[in-house]
Amino acid sequence: MKDDIGNPIFTDFKVDESLEWQMSRAEKYCLMGLMKELTPDVAIEIGTYKGGSLQVISSYSQQVYSIDISDSPSKFLSPKFANVEFVVGDSVHCLTNIFQKIEDDGKRLDFILVDGDHTRRGVYRDLEAIFNFPHKHSITILMHDSFNPECRKGIRTFLESHPQFVAYAELDYVTGSYWHNGTYREMWGGLALVKYDPKNQGQELYINQSQRQLFESTYLHSAHLVKDRMAFLFPLKRKIFRSLGLKNKGDIYHDF
Ligand SMILES: C[S@@+](CC[C@H](N)C(=O)[O-])C[C@H]1O[C@@H](n2cnc3c(N)ncnc32)[C@H](O)[C@@H]1O
């Protein structure tokens, strides 16, 4: 049997198995529980991919905006989700317009899943775009892959430098792991949870990292010690594969 940290799950939520879902079992249960509790008026998902997480967000929300830099998801997922508006583009450039539209429509944004660009800079920029808008209500923000060292750094450095509206922050709301996809000891998964509250001003910020020791000891045995230092070579690798007409199997988020 093939190792799979995402399946099986046992739930009364009718999971559509045809929609690939990039989360572990614990993360799936967490998202389902959180959505059931929040029942958002409006939710935003950054990183649609093949619709796995979107099926849950869509099911519990009145309205959803799902953003992806690729136009593939909107093509094959549109017929499945009547309450979802698919937005194609870099999340950083789309978010402000969506926030404004929600406000102009007199609606309330309750939830954001950040699961798009997982680089340190990418996550930082997503959070910056979220916090730069003068939201009137509190928002629950869930960030996937907080166990990935670069992604975690992006979240942590942003929060440390922008403590103003952070009412609660936990980087290990759900713990990640070495991923199961054959990549040599790469740390992925994990969910960080941040509660944004415009009323929260001047309070001291505490960033919870309830599995910090696990994170740090796992890191010492991980591929990231070398790999993250070589990250500047990745665009070159992509270029070489493209010019040779080859599909880079590790590059699953391009041309899907
Ligand atoms: C990990 S997948 C999302 C998985 C999905 N949330 C799930 O759990 O089933 C990441 C997605 O983010 C998209 N993405 C990457 N960078 C992005 C960006 N800057 N803006 C919007 N989407 C981006 C990729 O195209 C990819 O489809």
Q: Quick one: what percent of the chain has pLDDT higher than 70?
A: 95
Res 203: pLDDT: 85
Res 189: pLDDT: 96
CATH T-level assignment (fold) for domain 25-222: Rossmann fold (3.40.50)
What mean pLDDT, rounded, does the chain reach?
Answer: 93
Res 256: pLDDT: 66
CB of residue 189 inside a 6 A radius of ligand 1: no
pLDDT 10s digits, 48-76:
999 999 999 999 999 999 999 999 999 99
Res 249: pLDDT: 58
Best of 96, 115, 126, 179 for a ligand 1 pocket test (most atoms within 8 Å of beta carbon): 115
SS (H, E, C) the chain: CCCCCCCCCCCCCCCCCCCCCCCCHHHHHHHHHHHHHHCCCEEEEECCCCCHHHHHHHHHCCEEEEEECCCHHHHHHHHHCCCEEEEECCHHHHHHHHHHHHHHCCCCEEEEEECCCCCHHHHHHHHHHHHHCCCCCCEEEEEECCCCHHHHHHHHHHHHHCCCCEEEEEEEEECCEECCCCCCCCEECCEEEEEECCCCCCCCCCCECCCHHHHHHHHHCCCHHHHHHHHHHHHHHHHHHHHCCCCCCCCCCCCC
pLDDT of residue 173 exceeding 90, the answer is yes
CB of residue 253 inside a 6 A radius of ligand 1: yes
Residue 8: is the preceding peptide bond cis (ω within 30°)? Answer: yes
Contact predicate 138/158, CB 8 Å: no
pLDDT 10s digits, 177-225:
998 767 779 999 999 999 999 999 878 999 999 999 999 999 999 999 9
Report the candidate in 63, 151, 56 with the shortest Cα–Cα distance to residue 106.
63
Residue of the nearest CA to atom 23 in ligand 1? 116
Q: What is the reported pTM?
A: 0.93
pLDDT 10s digits, 82-128:
999 999 999 999 999 999 999 999 999 999 999 999 999 999 999 99
Res 72: pLDDT: 95
